[in-house]
A and B are shown apart, each in its own frame.
Chain A
Amino acid sequence: MTDTFVHPYIPNTGPAARQAMLDAIGVGSAEELYDAIPASLRLNRPLNLPEPILSERDLKRHVAGLLAQNTPVTGALSFLGGGCWQHDIPAVCDEINGRAEFLTAYGGDTYADMGKYQAMFEFQSMIGELVGMEMVSAPVYDWSAALTSALMMASRITGRKRTLVTGSLSNEKWSHLNNTGGPWLDPERLAVNPQTGLIDLDDLRARISSDVSAVYVEVPSYFGVVEHRMAEIGRIAHDAGALLVVGVDAISLGVLAAPADYGADIVVGEAQALGVHMLYSGGLCGFIASRDEAKFVAEYPYLMVSIAPGRTEGEWGFGWAAMERTSYDLREAAPDYTGTTQWLWGITAAVYLSLLGPQGLREVGEGILQRSHYAMQQLDALPGVKAPVYDAPHFKEFIVNFDGTGSTVAAINKRLLDKGIFGGHDLSAEFPDLGQSALYCVTEVHTQSDIDRLVAAIAEVTA
Chain B
Amino acid sequence: MKRIGLIVNPIAGMGGRVGLKGTDGPAALEQARALGATPLSGERARQALAVLRERLGDDLLLLAAPGPMGADIAESLGIATRVPPSPDRGRGAGGEGEDGKTARRQDGEKEGDLLPSPAVGRGAGGEGCTSSADTQTAVAAILAEGVDLLLFAGGDGTARDVYAAAGTGPPVLGIPTGVKMHSAVYATTPRAAGEAAAAFLTAAKPQLRESEVMDIDEEAFRQGRLSARLFGYLMVPYQRTLVQSLKSGSTSGEADLTGIATDIAERMRDGALWIIGPGTTTRAIAARLGVPKTLLGVDLYSRGELVASDATEQTILRHLDGVPAHIVVTPIGGQGYLFGRGNQQFSPEVIRRVDKSNIVVVSTLAKLTGLAGAPLLVDTGDPTLDAELAGYMRVVTGFRQESVQRVL
Residues of A within 8 A of B (CB): 107, 109, 303, 319-320, 322, 324-326, 329, 331-332, 335, 338-340
Residues of A within 8 Å of B252, CB to CB, are: 324-325
Contact partner of A339 (CB less than 8 A), chosen from B246, B399, B400, is: B246
* Interchain nearest-CB distance for B378 vs A (Å): 30
Binary interface profile of B, 393-407, with partner A (CB < 8 Å = 1, else 0)? Answer: 000001110000000
Query: 17 A-B Cβ contacts within 8 A?
Result: A107-B244, A107-B245, A107-B246, A319-B242, A320-B243, A320-B246, A322-B242, A322-B243, A322-B251, A324-B254, A326-B254, A329-B255, A332-B258, A332-B262, A332-B398, A338-B246, A339-B246
CA distance A238 to B316 in the complex (A): 49
Residue B89 at the chain A interface, CB threshold 8 Å = no
Q: Is the CB of B247 within 8 A of A332?
A: no
Cβ of A320: which chain B residues have Cβ within 8 Å of it?
Answer: 243-246
Asked if B318 CB lies within 8 Å of chain A CBs, one says no
- B255 CB contacts on chain A under 8 angstroms: 325, 329, 331
Q: Tell me the complex Cα distance, A329–B398, Å.
A: 13
Q: In the docked arrangement, what's the CA distance between A339 and B399, Å?
A: 21
Q: Are A340 and B399 closer than 8 Å at their CB atoms?
A: no
A322 to B246, CA, bound (A): 10
4 nearest A-B residue pairs (beta carbon): A332-B399, A325-B255, A322-B243, A107-B245
Task: Report the minimal beta-carbon distance from A116 to chain B, rounded to whole angstroms.
Answer: 12
Is B110 interfacial (CB 8 A cutoff)?
A: no
Instruction: Report chain B residues within 8 Å CB of A340.
Output: 246
User: In this complex, what residue of A is CB-closest to B399?
Assistant: A332
Are A331's CB and B254's CB within 8 A? Answer: no
B259 contacts A by Cβ under 8 Å: yes
Q: Assess whether B399 is in contact with A325, with CB atoms less than 8 Å apart.
A: no
List, in ascending order, chain B residues with CB within 8 A of A326's CB.
254
Task: Write the chain B residue with the least CB distance to A337.
Answer: B249
> Complex: how many Å from CA A332 to CA B251?
15
Q: How many residues of B contact A (CB 8 A)?
A: 18
- Chain A residues near B242 (CB-CB < 8 A): 109, 319, 322
In the complex, A329 Cα to B247 Cα: how many Å?
21
Q: Which residues of B contact A335 (CB under 8 A)?
A: 399
Decide if B240 touches A109 in the complex (CB within 8 Å).
Answer: no
Chain B positions 363 through 405: 1 when the CB is less than 8 Å from some CB of chain A, otherwise 0: 0000000000000000000000000000000000011100000
A320-B246, A338-B246 known; 8 new pairs, CB 8 Å cut-off, are: A109-B244, A109-B245, A319-B242, A319-B243, A322-B251, A331-B258, A332-B258, A339-B246
Residues 257 to 282 of chain B near chain A (Cβ within 8 Å): 258-259, 262-263
Distance between A140 CB and nearest chain B CB, rounded to angstroms: 12
Q: Which residue of A lies closest to B401 (CB)?
A: A332
* Contact of A331 with B247 at beta-carbon distance under 8 Å, contacts A319-B242, A324-B252, A325-B252 already known: no
Q: Are B399 and A331 in contact (CB under 8 A)?
A: yes
Which residues in B have their C-beta under 8 angstroms from that of A107?
A: 244-247
The reply to whether B254 and A325 form a contact with Cβ atoms under 8 Å apart is yes
Contacts of B240 in A (CB 8 A): 322, 324
Q: Provide the bound-state CA to CA distance between A322 and B240, in Å.
A: 11
A424 to B77, CA, bound (A): 81
Q: What's the Cα separation between A320 and B243 when bound, in Å? A: 7
A338: chain B residues at CB < 8 Å are 246
Q: Give B261's nearest chain A residue, CB to CB.
A: A332
Output the nearest chain A residue to B262 by Cβ-Cβ distance. Answer: A332
Q: How far is the CB of A40 from chain B (nearest CB, A)?
A: 27
Q: How far does the alpha carbon of A325 sit from the alpha carbon of B263 in the complex, in Å?
A: 17
Which chain B residue lies CB-closest to A341? Answer: B246
Nearest CB in chain A: distance from B281 CB, A: 16
Residues of A within 8 Å of B247, CB to CB, are 107
Residues of B51-108 whose CB lies within 8 A of A:
none
Residue from A107, A109, A322, A326 having most chain B Cβ neighbours under 10 A: A322
B240 to chain A: closest residue by CB: A324
Q: Which of chain B's residues has its CB closest to A320's CB?
A: B243
Give chain B residues whose Cβ lies under 8 Å from the Cβ of A329: 254-255, 258
Partner of B259, one of A322, A324, A331: A331
Provide the bound-state CA to CA distance between A319 and B262, in Å: 30
Closest to B259 in A: A332
**C-alpha gap A107/B263 in the complex (Å):** 33
- CB–CB A325/B244 < 8 A: no
- The docked-state distance in angstroms from the alpha carbon of A340 to that of B246 is 8
Q: Cα distance A436–B171 when bound, in Å? A: 72
Complexed CA–CA distance, A107 and B249 (Å): 13
A305 CB to nearest chain B CB (Å): 11
The residue on B at minimum CB distance from A325 is: B255
Query: Complex Cα distance A338/B246, Å?
Result: 7
User: In this complex, what residue of B is CB-closest to A338?
Assistant: B246
For residue A319, which residue of chain B has the nearest CB?
A: B242
CA distance A109 to B262 in the complex (A): 34
Most chain B Cβ neighbours within 10 Å, of A324, A339, A340: A324
Interface centre among B243, B247, B263, by most chain A C-beta atoms within 10 angstroms, is: B243
* B397 → chain A closest CB, angstroms: 12
Contacts A325-B254, A332-B399, A332-B400 hold; do A303 and B246 have CB atoms under 8 A apart? yes
Q: With both chains docked as a complex, state the minimum distance between the C-beta of B79 and any C-beta of chain A, in angstroms.
A: 24
- Which B residues are CB-close (under 8 A) to A331? 255, 258-259, 399
Contacts of B259 in A (CB 8 A): 331-332
Chain B proximity of A212: nearest CB distance (Å): 22
Smallest Cβ-Cβ distance to A110: which chain B residue = B242
Residues in A with CB closer than 8 Å to B262 are 332
Residue of A nearest to B242 (CB): A319
Chain A: minimal CB distance from B364 (Å)? 13
* Distance A324 CA – B262 CA, assembled complex (angstroms): 18
A459→B255 CA distance, assembly (Å): 62
Chain B residue at smallest Cβ distance from A331: B255
Candidate in A326, A329, A332 with the most chain B CB atoms within 10 angstroms: A332
Question: In angstroms, how far is the closest chain A Cβ from the Cβ of B159?
Answer: 27
Contact flags B224-251 to A (C-beta < 8 A → 1, else 0): 0000000000000000101111110001
Chain B residues within 8 Å of A109, by CB? 242, 244-245
**How far is it, in angstroms, between the C-alpha of A338 and the C-alpha of B247 when the chains are bound?**
9
Please, how many angstroms separate the alpha-carbon atoms of A329 and B246 in the complex? 19
Docked Cα-Cα span, A319 to B245, in Å, equals: 9
With the chains together, A368 CA to B66 CA distance in Å?
A: 81
Return A330 CB to nearest CB of chain B, in Å.
8
Alpha-carbon separation in the docked complex, A107 to B255 (Å):
24
Closest A residue, CB atoms, query B248: A320
